[in-house]
Amino acid sequence: MQLVASIKSFAGQQLRFEHRSTVLNCDMHFSLYLPPQAETGAVPLLTWLSGLTCTDENFVQKACAQRAAAEHGVAILAPDTSPRGESVADDPDGSWDMGLGAGFYVNATQAPWAEHYRMYDYVLEELPALVAAQHPVDLSRQSIFGHSMGGHGALTIALKNPQRYRSMSAFAPICAPLECPWGHKAFAGYLGEDRQRWAEHDSCTLVRGATQHLPMLVDQGSADSFLQEQLKTPLLESACAESGYPAMIRMQEAYDHSYFFIASFMDEHVAFHAGHCKS
């Protein structure tokens, strides 16, 4: 693991690393914000998952999360959104909703993706363990959040591993990949045509089958151009209401899909996770 950037921010350190991922079978970058409290002891670890077309750097530069992380004494880990490198398969049509920048946080089982696209195991297992081996983060106090494709990743990974996380949250998540074009394309490519496999990574399906509940916060902008066709927040609201999953799902009037929306509510999301990681 090699440090490639270290920038002081709100009395903490915004770090960027390069490393060889054994799970993804390629070289990767990730970012890690360490708050000032990490100088004197282990701090909770929040993992942020970004959306389509992002790297680890969009969040670092545009989400305005460092101030709240420093205030609450939490570290924030931001992985990339897919495996990277010349040997890594990309969408043959070059579109941005599949392949590079669009790993969908699943373990691909289909050629040519299966060789590298294992973002589920990378985010859940390899990366937190790697970070904790070298930095003062407490893996018994973890939460996960994300945006759009990363919101889907955060909700599904937490719903599948409630013992691993204290809380989950999402901005404009893809709530029902079983019911939207982005999900159909990515899941057919990465997981094959068997919809049973898809259902294992569908927030609405997982909510309906959940036996253990975690605190869940979701913010969605009402002026988000992806809301109707791709994100489908009402399906998550129904799944939570019908199955009795306690979730705070908020429609934020006139906000769009961008990082301006994310930054507007970032303080609340960091405070939400920090509170659950401390209790």
Ligand X SMILES: N[C@@H](CCC(=O)N[C@@H](CS)C(=O)NCC(=O)O)C(=O)O
Determine contact, residues 119/23, Cβ cutoff 8 Å.
Answer: no
Q: Minimum Å distance from CB 256 to ligand X?
A: 9
The interface region with ligand X, picked from 40-48, 132-140, 244-252, 257-265 by CB under 6 A, is 257-265
Q: Minimum Å distance from CB 146 to ligand X?
A: 10
Q: What's the Cα-to-Cα distance from 232 to each of 40, 144, 181, 187, 216, rounded to whole Å? A: 43, 21, 11, 17, 17
**SS3 of 141, please?**
strand
Amino acid occupying residue 142: Q
> Which residues 259-278 are close enough to bind ligand X by CB under 6 A?
259
Both structure tokens of 168: 């989950």
| Cis bond upstream, residue 181 (ω within 30) | no
Residue 187 CA to residue 164 CA, distance in Å, equals 25
Residues 31, 58, 82, 143: which binds ligand X (CB under 6 A)? 58
Residues 9, 25, 53, 161: which binds ligand X (CB under 6 A)? 53
Determine contact, residues 108/198, Cβ cutoff 8 Å.
Answer: no
Give 166 or 257: the residue with its C-beta nearer to ligand X: 257
Residues 166, 257, 273, 276: which binds ligand X (CB under 6 A)? 257
Residues 62, 160, 184, 185: which binds ligand X (CB under 6 A)? 62
148 binds ligand X (CB under 6 A): yes
Instruction: Report the residue number whose CB is nearest to ligand X.
Output: 51
Does the active-site annotation cover 257?
Answer: yes
Residue 34 β-bridge partners: 13
Does the active-site annotation cover 95?
Answer: no
Strands (E), the chain: 2-9, 12-21, 26-34, 43-49, 75-79, 137-147, 168-171, 216-221, 247-252
Does the active-site annotation cover 213?
Answer: no
Give 19 or 62: the residue with its C-beta nearer to ligand X: 62
The interface region with ligand X, picked from 114-122, 143-151, 161-169, 212-220 by CB under 6 A, is 143-151
Pairing of strands 12-21, 26-34: antiparallel
The interface region with ligand X, picked from 2-10, 27-35, 46-54, 123-131 by CB under 6 A, is 46-54
The interface region with ligand X, picked from 49-57, 105-113, 231-239, 243-251 by CB under 6 A, is 49-57
Residue 78 CA to residue 150 CA, distance in Å, equals 11
The one catalytic residue in 135, 152, 201, 257 is 257
The residues annotated with a catalytic role in the active site are 148, 224, 257
Q: By the criterion CB under 6 A, which residues form the site for ligand X?
A: 51-54, 58, 62, 96, 147-149, 257-259
